Amino acid sequence: MAVVSAEHLVPSLLAGAAGDCIGEPFEGLATVPAFEPTAHEWRVSDDTILSLATFRAIRSVGETTALAIADEFAAVFRAGPVPGIGASTLKALRDLVAGAHWALAGCKGERAAGNGAAMRVAPLAFYLDADEPGTAARSGTSVASHITTTRPTLVRWPS
């Protein structure tokens, strides 16, 4: 199933969660004040929560499928509040819970901007074969991103 050593999986996910905790208080600020580790409550945002959901979905089916990831995202949203969620991801999750197809969920056009899709790619590194560049990696990453981010420049690989 995993193509990269599993011993690196937990540290990778923990590093992402730590970065999320450190950066979360500064999201959306025009200027970033000096970092003081004890000045704020450390908590993960939707980026970590949905990264873990992406991992669970891929692990459950053994491959990157949009339907499995979308179902896991909907389950997370049904379970309770998701902290730090942006407008595009919120709309996508609401749409999924309401029964929308994963490819039709979320905002379209300029309103679909955000970095959440980029924050959720870490689990893909463990399931996409680096020795087979191109189609599989690009498709898996695009599929996982498209669920909440439909803006073409954010989900397509350059040629």
Q: Which pair of tokens denotes residue 75?
A: 């389950």
Domain assignment present for residue 144? The answer is yes
Confidence of residue 11 (pLDDT cuts 50, 70, 90): confident
pLDDT in tens, 112-128: 666 677 777 777 777 66
Counting the structural domains of the chain, the total is 1
CATH number at residue 39: 1.10.4080.10
Burial of 100 (0-12, 13-18, 19+ CB in 10 A): middle
* CA distances to 78, 110, 159 from 71, in Å: 11, 25, 30
Lowest mean pLDDT of 12-26, 49-63, 137-151, name the range: 137-151
Query: Residue 157 has what pLDDT?
Result: 46
Q: Does residue 38 belong to any structural domain of this protein?
A: yes
| Tokens at 8, concatenated | 């690196």
Q: Which residue has the tokens 């089916």?
A: 61
**In-domain check, residue 1:** no
pTM of the shown model: 0.82
Whether residue 18 lies inside any domain: the answer is yes
Distance separating alpha carbons of residues 83 and 49, to the nearest angstrom: 9
Tens digits of per-residue pLDDT, 74-109?
A: 999 999 999 988 888 899 999 999 999 988 887 776
Q: What range defines the domain where residue 150 resides? A: 6-155
